[in-house]
Structure 1
Amino acid sequence: MGRSTLVSVLIAVSSTALAQESSGLRGHLKDAKTGEPLLVCPVTVIAGGNTLVETDLEGNYELPLPPGTYDVRFWCDQYEGVDVKGVKIAQGFVQRDLALKPVEGSFVEEVVVIGKVDTKSESGLLLQRKMANTVQDSIGSEQISRSPDSNAGDAVKRVTSATVVGRNVYLRGLGGRYAATTVNGVALPSTDPDGHQAPLDLFPNSLLSTLTVQKTYSPELGGAFAGGVLGIETNSYPAEFQAHIKLSLGANSQSTFHSRRSYEGGSLDLLGIDDGSRGLPNSVPSDRPLTLSDPQAEKVSESFNNVWSSNKTGGLPNGSLNVSVGNTHQWSQGRAFGYLASATFSRGASSTNADVQTFRIDGEELHLKDQYSSEYGATSTNMGALFNAGYQLDPMNDVSVLALFSRSAEDSAQWLQGSSDTDGALFDSTRLKFSERMLSFNQLRGTHRFGSDGATVLRWQGNVSVTNAEEPDTRDLLYLVDEGVRRFRQAANSGERFFSHLEDTSGGATASLSFAAGPLEFKVGGAAQLSKRSFDARRFAFLFVGDDPALLGLPAEEMLSPENIGPAFLAEERTFLTDRYDGQQALYAGFVDAEMPLSNRLRVTAGVRLEAFSQKLESGSPFAHGQPPASTDRSTVNPLPAMNAVFALTEKANLRTGYSFTVARPQFREVAPFLYYDAIRRRSVSGNPDLVSSRIHNVDLRWEWFPTEYEVFSVGGFYKRFLDPIEQVVVSSNQGDLGYRNAERADALGFELEGRASLGRLSQALSPLRVGANLSLISSRVSLGSQQQVSTSQRRPLQGQSPYVANVNVTYTQDGWGTELSLLYNVFGRRISEVGFNRLPDTYEQPFHRVDVSLTQKLSSKLRLKLTGANLLNQSTVFQQMDEEVFHYHPGVTVTAQMEWTPF
Structure 2
Amino acid sequence: MKKQAVLTHSKLGLAIALALSSTVAQAQQQDASAADAAIEEVVTTGTRLQGSAAAVVEERKAQAFVADILGAEQISRTGDSDAASALRRVTGLTLVDGKFIYVRGLGERYSSTQLNGASVPSPDPTRNVIPLDMFPASIIESMSVQKSYSPDMPANFGGGNVDIRTVSIPTDEIFDISIGTGWNSNFSDDGLSYSGGGDDWMGKDDGTRALSPEMLSALARYQESINSASIASFEGISIAEANEINRQLAASMNTENEVYTESMKPDLKGSLTYGNNYDLGSDFTFGFLAGVDYDTGWSNSETTEKVLGIANSETVINQASESRVTTQDVEVSGLLNFGLQWGDYHRVETSTIFLRNSSDRVERGGIETPNSIDEANLSYYDTDIRYEQRELLTNQIRGSHYFPELWGFALDWQYADSRATRDAPGEVFYRQINDRDLGDGVGNLAFQQTRTATTLQYQILEDDAQDWRVDGELPLYFGGMEVLVKGGGQVSKKARSSFSRRFAISAEGVANEALQNVGYNDLFSDANILDGDFGLSLFGAPTATDPNYLAAQQVEAGYGLADIQLNSDWRVSGGLRWEQYTQVAAQLDIRDMTMIGDIENAGRIEDDVYGSLALTYQLNDEMQLRFGYGSTVVRPDLRELTEVIFVDPITNFKVRGNSELLTTDIDNFDVRWEWYLPSGENYSVAMFYKDLANPIEAVEAKGTDSDRVITFLNGQSGEVYGLEFEFLKDLTSIADGLFLSGNFTLSDSEISIANTGNVELTNNTRRMTGHSKYVTNLQLGYDSLNGEHSASLIYNVAGERIAFAGVKQGEMGIDDAFEQPFHSLDFVYTYYPDFNSKLKFKVQNMLGEDVEIEQNDRLIQTRTVGTGISLEYSYSF
- Same fold? TM cut 0.5: yes
What is the aligned partner in structure 2 of residue 388 from structure 1? 337
* Residues in 2 aligned to 1:366 and 1:41: alpha-carbon distance in whole angstroms: 59
Is 452-461 or 768-777 further displaced after alignment? 452-461
Is contact 1:574-1:624 (8 Å) kept? Answer: no
- Per-residue Cα deviation, 1:645-682 (whole angstroms, up to 9, x for no partner): 11111111111011111111111221223322369987
* Residues in 2 aligned to 1:177 and 1:55: alpha-carbon distance in whole angstroms: 33
Counterpart residue identity of residue 204, structure 1: P
Kindly state the Cα deviation for residue 488 of structure 1 after the two structures are TM-superposed.
Answer: 2.6
Is contact 2:788-2:832 (8 Å) kept? Answer: yes
- Match of 1:873, SS? coil
Is contact 1:669-1:687 (8 Å) kept? Answer: yes
Matched, 1:604 2:576: no
Counterpart residue identity of residue 291, structure 1: N
Matched, 1:779 2:779: no
- Match of 2:386, SS? strand
Counterpart residue identity of residue 738, structure 1: I
Evaluate the alpha carbon distance shift between residue 516 and residue 872 of structure 1 in structure 2; reply closer, same or farther with a 3 A threshold. same
Which residues of 2 match residues 194-213 of structure 1 at below 5 A?
Answer: 194-213=126-145
Matched, 1:227 2:196: no
Higher-helix-fraction structure: 2
- Per-residue Cα deviation, 1:527-553 (whole angstroms, up to 9, x for no partner): 011111111110111123426233333
Unaligned runs of 5+ in 1: 1-38, 43-51, 62-118
* Residues in 2 aligned to 1:683 and 1:337: alpha-carbon distance in whole angstroms: 51
Evaluate the alpha carbon distance shift between residue 709 and residue 493 of structure 1 in structure 2; reply closer, same or farther with a 3 A threshold. farther
What is the aligned partner in structure 2 of residue 292 from structure 1? 228
What is the aligned partner in structure 1 of residue 37 from structure 2? none
> Of the candidates 517, 523, 528, which is equivalent to residue 491 of structure 2?
528
Counterpart residue identity of residue 528, structure 1: V
Counterpart residue identity of residue 460, structure 2: H
- Match of 1:728, SS? strand
* Residues in 2 aligned to 1:699 and 1:707: alpha-carbon distance in whole angstroms: 27
Is contact 1:576-1:624 (8 Å) kept? Answer: no
Kindly state the Cα deviation for residue 192 of structure 1 after the two structures are TM-superposed.
Answer: 1.1
Evaluate the alpha carbon distance shift between residue 817 and residue 221 of structure 1 in structure 2; reply closer, same or farther with a 3 A threshold. closer
Evaluate the alpha carbon distance shift between residue 639 and residue 709 of structure 1 in structure 2; reply closer, same or farther with a 3 A threshold. farther
Which residues of 2 match residues 749-898 of structure 1 at below 5 A?
Answer: 749-760=721-732, 763=733, 766-787=735-756, 789-838=759-808, 839-898=813-872
* Residues in 2 aligned to 1:559 and 1:525: alpha-carbon distance in whole angstroms: 64
Kindly state the Cα deviation for residue 163 of structure 1 after the two structures are TM-superposed.
Answer: 0.9
- Match of 2:88, SS? helix
- Match of 1:269, SS? coil
* Residues in 2 aligned to 1:362 and 1:681: alpha-carbon distance in whole angstroms: 26
Which residues of 2 match residues 130-145 of structure 1 at below 5 A?
Answer: 130-145=61-76
Is contact 2:789-2:830 (8 Å) kept? Answer: yes
* Residues in 2 aligned to 1:372 and 1:403: alpha-carbon distance in whole angstroms: 45
What is the aligned partner in structure 1 of residue 542 from structure 2? 575
Evaluate the alpha carbon distance shift between residue 786 and residue 546 of structure 1 in structure 2; reply closer, same or farther with a 3 A threshold. closer
Is contact 2:367-2:382 (8 Å) kept? Answer: no
Evaluate the alpha carbon distance shift between residue 226 and residue 512 of structure 1 in structure 2; reply closer, same or farther with a 3 A threshold. same
Matched, 1:479 2:432: yes
Evaluate the alpha carbon distance shift between residue 217 and residue 490 of structure 1 in structure 2; reply closer, same or farther with a 3 A threshold. farther
What is the aligned partner in structure 1 of residue 625 from structure 2? 655
Evaluate the alpha carbon distance shift between residue 874 and residue 515 of structure 1 in structure 2; reply closer, same or farther with a 3 A threshold. same
- Per-residue Cα deviation, 1:459-494 (whole angstroms, up to 9, x for no partner): 000110011110001011112347967543466975
Is contact 2:359-2:387 (8 Å) kept? Answer: yes
Is contact 1:308-1:477 (8 Å) kept? Answer: no
Which residues of 2 match residues 419-458 of structure 1 at below 5 A?
Answer: 419-424=368-373, 425-451=378-404, 455-458=408-411
* Residues in 1 aligned to 2:369 and 2:589: alpha-carbon distance in whole angstroms: 33
* Residues in 2 aligned to 1:41 and 1:807: alpha-carbon distance in whole angstroms: 27
What is the aligned partner in structure 1 of residue 36 from structure 2? none
Counterpart residue identity of residue 420, structure 1: T
* Residues in 2 aligned to 1:625 and 1:440: alpha-carbon distance in whole angstroms: 27
RMSD value, Cα? 2.6
Counterpart residue identity of residue 660, structure 2: D
Kindly state the Cα deviation for residue 303 of structure 1 after the two structures are TM-superposed.
Answer: 1.3
Matched, 1:461 2:397: no
Kindly state the Cα deviation for residue 555 of structure 1 after the two structures are TM-superposed.
Answer: 3.3
Kindly state the Cα deviation for residue 802 of structure 1 after the two structures are TM-superposed.
Answer: 0.8
Evaluate the alpha carbon distance shift between residue 363 and residue 750 of structure 1 in structure 2; reply closer, same or farther with a 3 A threshold. farther
Which protein has the larger Cα radius of gyration, Structure 1 or Structure 2?
1
* Residues in 2 aligned to 1:197 and 1:182: alpha-carbon distance in whole angstroms: 10
Percent identity between matched residues is 27
* Residues in 1 aligned to 2:16 and 2:254: alpha-carbon distance in whole angstroms: 65
Is 845-854 or 567-576 further displaced after alignment? 567-576
- Per-residue Cα deviation, 1:28-54 (whole angstroms, up to 9, x for no partner): xxxxxxxxxxx9899xxxxxxxxx999
Evaluate the alpha carbon distance shift between residue 464 and residue 626 of structure 1 in structure 2; reply closer, same or farther with a 3 A threshold. closer
Is contact 1:40-1:55 (8 Å) kept? Answer: no
* Residues in 1 aligned to 2:285 and 2:339: alpha-carbon distance in whole angstroms: 8
* Residues in 1 aligned to 2:92 and 2:794: alpha-carbon distance in whole angstroms: 16
Is 785-794 or 367-376 further displaced after alignment? 785-794
What is the aligned partner in structure 1 of residue 681 from structure 2? 711
- Match of 2:806, SS? coil
* Residues in 1 aligned to 2:341 and 2:594: alpha-carbon distance in whole angstroms: 60
What is the aligned partner in structure 1 of residue 34 from structure 2? none
> Of the candidates 619, 635, 638, which is equivalent to residue 608 of structure 2?
638
* Residues in 2 aligned to 1:338 and 1:780: alpha-carbon distance in whole angstroms: 49
Is contact 2:19-2:55 (8 Å) kept? Answer: no
- Match of 1:785, SS? coil
What is the aligned partner in structure 1 of residue 111 from structure 2? 179
Kindly state the Cα deviation for residue 196 of structure 1 after the two structures are TM-superposed.
Answer: 3.2
Counterpart residue identity of residue 868, structure 2: T
- Match of 2:157, SS? coil
* Residues in 1 aligned to 2:627 and 2:564: alpha-carbon distance in whole angstroms: 15
Kindly state the Cα deviation for residue 750 of structure 1 after the two structures are TM-superposed.
Answer: 1.2
Is contact 1:120-1:140 (8 Å) kept? Answer: no
Evaluate the alpha carbon distance shift between residue 494 and residue 635 of structure 1 in structure 2; reply closer, same or farther with a 3 A threshold. farther
Is contact 2:340-2:348 (8 Å) kept? Answer: yes
* Residues in 1 aligned to 2:486 and 2:451: alpha-carbon distance in whole angstroms: 57
- Match of 2:528, SS? coil
- Per-residue Cα deviation, 1:667-699 (whole angstroms, up to 9, x for no partner): 122122332236998752111222121111111
- Match of 1:373, SS? strand
* Residues in 1 aligned to 2:161 and 2:186: alpha-carbon distance in whole angstroms: 35
Is contact 2:303-2:863 (8 Å) kept? Answer: yes
Evaluate the alpha carbon distance shift between residue 625 and residue 792 of structure 1 in structure 2; reply closer, same or farther with a 3 A threshold. farther
Kindly state the Cα deviation for residue 598 of structure 1 after the two structures are TM-superposed.
Answer: 3.2
- Per-residue Cα deviation, 1:375-430 (whole angstroms, up to 9, x for no partner): 10011101111112211111111111111011111111111213112422511101
What is the aligned partner in structure 1 of residue 717 from structure 2? 745
* Residues in 2 aligned to 1:483 and 1:55: alpha-carbon distance in whole angstroms: 65
Kindly state the Cα deviation for residue 803 of structure 1 after the two structures are TM-superposed.
Answer: 0.8
What is the aligned partner in structure 2 of residue 505 from structure 1? 464
- Per-residue Cα deviation, 1:572-598 (whole angstroms, up to 9, x for no partner): 114333432111111110000011233
What is the aligned partner in structure 2 of residue 515 from structure 1? 474
Is contact 1:120-1:141 (8 Å) kept? Answer: no
Unaligned runs of 5+ in 2: 1-8, 23-49, 232-241, 438-443
Q: Which has the higher contact order (CA 8 A, sep 6+)?
A: 2
What is the aligned partner in structure 2 of residue 559 from structure 1? 523
Evaluate the alpha carbon distance shift between residue 599 and residue 40 of structure 1 in structure 2; reply closer, same or farther with a 3 A threshold. same
Is contact 1:335-1:395 (8 Å) kept? Answer: no
> Of the candidates 95, 114, 117, which is equivalent to residue 164 of structure 1?
95
Evaluate the alpha carbon distance shift between residue 503 and residue 841 of structure 1 in structure 2; reply closer, same or farther with a 3 A threshold. same
> Of the candidates 297, 301, 304, which is equivalent to residue 355 of structure 1?
304
Evaluate the alpha carbon distance shift between residue 343 and residue 708 of structure 1 in structure 2; reply closer, same or farther with a 3 A threshold. same
Kindly state the Cα deviation for residue 321 of structure 1 after the two structures are TM-superposed.
Answer: 0.6
Is contact 1:671-1:691 (8 Å) kept? Answer: yes
What is the aligned partner in structure 1 of residue 586 from structure 2? 618
